[in-house]
Structures are given as C-alpha cells and as structure tokens.
Amino acid sequence: MGEVLSLQEQGESAREFIEGLIEELGLEASVSVREVDSETIEVVVDGAELGLLVGRGGATLGALQELARTVVQSRTAGPTERILVDVAGYRAKRAEALQRFTKQVAEEVVASGSEQAMEPMLAPDRKVVHDTVGDIDGVQTRSEGEEPRRYVVLSPQGALVTSDSDD
C-alpha cells in the first residue's frame, strides 16, 4: 500500500486505470476527472460506441466503477473517497428515465392505495428512486432483499413499513 492520496490524486489514479483498460479493449474515448463535492470524484468517459463499458442495465459500468475503486484502494494508505464512473452520460440519462418511471409508479400507488415493488437494481438507481419519491406527497419507499437482488418498494404514505435497511 502506498501513501495517503488526496481526492484529486485518487481521481487521477482511477482515471489512469480506466484509460489503460480502454486502451487494452481497443476503444476510442477521452477520460476526464471532475470533483462532485469534497468527498466525491467522478471519472467521465466520453466517446462513441462505448456500450461495451455500460453493459445491460449499467451492470458493466457498475463493475467498472468497483474495479476503479479497488485499484485506488490498493494504491492509498488512507481512506478511499467516493469514486463514481460515468460512460457517455449514461448515469444522467438513466436517472432521468428512472425518475419518470418512478413518478408513474408513485401515481399508481397513490391511486390504488397498494404498494408496488420495483425490479432489483443497483444502489445508485435505488437512490434515484428514494430521492424522487421523497419529493412526492402520499408515497414512501423502503429497500428490501439482499444484493444483488435488492429492490425498492413504494407504498402509500403512513402504511405500516418494515425495512431491512435504507440505501
């Protein structure tokens, strides 16, 4: 294990790893790093035909992010900050689509008075659902299940809720 790396140095380490991976895969892309906040860095990959790095439902992207985090953890003696990876704006597009879908499900929950479980999803997607529902009156959320099959349940506000834990 090396020295303690700053947030910027952790971002550069993750960027170098991802650039090397892209080169090995023979893909054309630019990789940059941006500071999201004082504890979060995002590695942004832009280019054409990068679907291979995203995968179905963002699964490959999630794995790429975990690999980048693991590489950074192996290179620093201190704590690892939050490292996000985005490819071709996938996360923003996914979040927008998930917000629209979540609002539709929330309307159905309010209208029917019955709870609805969503499909299993990765933690960042569950967070989008929880945050979206947080702005809607009459609906609440909870996460259930174990990774990798963890999912969100939307229920009418005030319904008796038991929760494994929140995301």
The pLDDT tens digits for 61-114 are 989 999 999 999 999 888 887 899 999 999 889 999 999 999 999 999 999 999
DSSP category for residue 3: P
At 167, is the pLDDT very low, low, confident or very high (cuts 50, 70, 90)?
low
C-alpha–C-alpha distance, residues 82 and 40, integer Å: 5
pLDDT (mean) for 128-154:
95
- 124 or 14: which carries more pLDDT confidence? 14
Question: Contact at 8 Å (CB) between 32 and 84?
Answer: no
| Segment 100-135, tens digit of pLDDT | 999 999 999 999 999 999 999 888 889 999 999 999
First to last CA, the chain: 30
- The pLDDT, as a whole number, for residue 12 is 96
Opening angle at CA 57, ends 52 and 69, nearest 5:
70
